A and B are shown apart, each in its own frame.
Chain A
Amino acid sequence: DTGVSQDPRHKITKRGQNVTFRCDPISEHNRLYWYRQTLGQGPEFLTYFQNEAQLEKSRLLSDRFSAERPKGSFSTLEIQRTEQGDSAMYLCASSINTATGELFFGEGSRLTVL
Chain B
Amino acid sequence: DAKTTQPTSMDCAEGRAANLPCNHSTISGNEYVYWYRQIHSQGPQYIIHGLKNNETNEMASLIITEDRKSSTLILPHATLRDTAVYYCIVRGANNNAGNMLTFGGGTRLMVKP
Residue positions of A touching B, CB distance < 8 A: 4, 31, 33, 35, 41-45, 48, 50, 55-56, 91, 93, 95, 97-108
A59–B111 Cα distance when bound, in Å, is: 37
Main secondary structure of the interface of B (DSSP, over half): loop
B36 / chain A contacts, CB cutoff of 8 Å? 103
Is the pair A31, B98 in contact by a Cβ cutoff of 8 Å? yes
Q: Which of B34, B46, B96, B99 has the most CB of A within 10 A?
A: B99
Q: Which of A41, A48, A99, A103 contacts B105 (CB 8 A)?
A: A41
Residue of A nearest to B95 (CB): A99
CB contact list, B72-112 vs A, under 8 A: 85, 87, 93-94, 96-106
Question: Which 3 A-B pairs have CB atoms at the shortest separation, nearest pair first?
Answer: A105-B43, A42-B103, A56-B97
Is B45 positioned at the interface, with any CB of A under 8 Å from its CB? yes
* B97 partner, pick from A55, A99, A101, A107, beta carbons under 8 A: A55
Interface residues in B, total, Cβ within 8 A: 25
Which residues from A are CB-within-8-Å of B34?
Answer: 102
| Pair A45/B105 contact, Cβ less than 8 Å | no
- Cβ of B98 and Cβ of A48 under 8 Å apart? yes
Q: Evaluate contact between A108 and B98: CB separation under 8 angstroms.
A: no
